[in-house]
Amino acid sequence: MGTLALPLTAFEEFLIWEDRPAYPCSIFARLRFSGRIDRQALESAVQAIVPRHPLLISCLETRGRRPFWVVQPDTLPQIVWAKGPTGQAMPATGRQNLRKQIGLRLFVVESHDSSDVTLQFHHACCDGAGIAVVVNDLLIAYALAKGVRSPKLKLPPLDPGRLARRGDYGLTFWKLLKLLPGQIAGVQGVLRFFCRKPYPLLPSRVAPDDDAPPAEFPATRTHTFTREETAALHETAVQLGVGANDLLARDIFLALGEWRARSGDGNQDDGAWLRMMVPIDLRSRGDRLLPAANMVGSVFLDRRSREFEDPGKLLAGIAGELQYIKDHRLGLIFIYSLRALGLLPGGLQRNARRDQCTVSSIFSNLGKVLRRCPLPKEHGRLVAGDLILEQIDGVAPIRPYNCATFLANEYAGRLTMTLHYDPRAVGAAQADDLVSTFARRVQASVSGKS
């Protein structure tokens, strides 16, 4: 592959400005395996897949006034190996400086009969859907490196050439014209975004940009529901006429309200806005061959604590709002706003570094991951050579004034929710309390108690 240079999209550039030493703009996926990783096979698998994803082996360069991704064709991601117990806290990492490093690295922890592989991605070059594509590639390539052979077992086709059009979001002039009425109506949401003042979940000191990240970055807590609980969640959503994602967003709001009330925060005005940012995948059908990239927009759910008193009404409002957003592709409005800011000198930088709370929390849902992976299964779990993939955890980024984010995914019939928290604002006991509060809320929902 020859050297490739691609200009950044407005959203990618925004995320570059959001990235800072104190708040690295990284996302993570941890793969928990039964069995010990074969080092040579993993290194071979990584070497096989990274040329398929050019943005993951790119560094930033500024040419004139524009930043570009410049592929480093002879560079491979760093793999850090360690011995120790698996299933513990994620390995402590640091910031990925894209001026000097590529946007992917791996951390492997091995015990005598299990292995954890954690992938750290810079968010500017990969989103949640991109993680799923990379993990799928990695598992297949590892199985092939271990000598597994099957007519169906091969790396799926990808088209790196589509990266040049990733900022078009599958829109032609006529498609955009068709969306225009709904987009105009969505401008009301933009006005609400700027007129409402969201509050942080907890009062805390924002670290200076140049501070180091917390020593335990990323600090996480994970809860995995049983297959029975996960099935009951989907059944409950169907009975209520909403999506499982709507139900989870409602229960996060309820858990946050209950948790904040216990936190001792003096600012518990029931009219104060809590703002949940929800990433929306903007890929079209034509992007099914797209390598890893960041093609999400953002929408914002604003709710006040007094609205948590009626869980049914709260759920109906969230479901209706998210359906309208989906029908009219309102996730694009955030992208258009960033493009407009990018026309102003320093506009993206000023917006990304505003010293105020713009989002209280983040909730991202990757859905049913790896459901089309061609690897064989054992009790619903994927088998890659000598490894069985037991579980996947995903981690969304945190930002200033945003001390807790949530990322959900479903694998092998079990829903996993991972909390990423800022230990400078949230104690370990508080993090445990928040995760257990959320789990109780979901269990109450499926039992018909909320």
Ranges of beta strands (E only) in 243-323 are 273-281, 296-304
Ranges of beta strands (E only) in 111-243 are 114-122, 219-224
Take residue 138 and report the two structure tokens written for it. Answer: 């990695």
| 218: preceding bond cis by omega (within 30 degrees) | yes
Residue 2 has pLDDT above 50, yes or no: no
Write the CA distances from 401 to 159, 250, 300, 382, 425, integer angstroms. 38, 21, 16, 38, 9
Q: Classify 418 as helix, strand or coil.
A: strand
- What domains are defined for the chain? 5-163 (3.30.559.10), 169-364+400-446 (3.30.559.30)
Residue 1 has pLDDT above 60, yes or no: no
Tokens 């990925």, located at residue: 96
User: How far apart are the two ends of the chain, measured CA to CA in Å?
Assistant: 55
Q: Give dist(CA 426, CA 404) in Å, integer.
A: 8
Tokens 């809860």, located at residue: 223
**pLDDT tens, residue by residue, 44-87:** 999 999 999 999 999 999 988 889 999 999 899 999 999 999 99
Residue 412 in contact with residue 33, Cβ under 8 Å? Answer: no
73-101 core/surface letters (b: 16 or more CB in 10 A; e: else): eeeebeeeeeeeebeeebbebebbebeeb
**pLDDT tens, residue by residue, 224-281:** 999 999 999 999 999 999 999 999 999 999 999 999 998 765 455 667 899 999 999 9
Residue 105 has pLDDT above 90, yes or no: yes
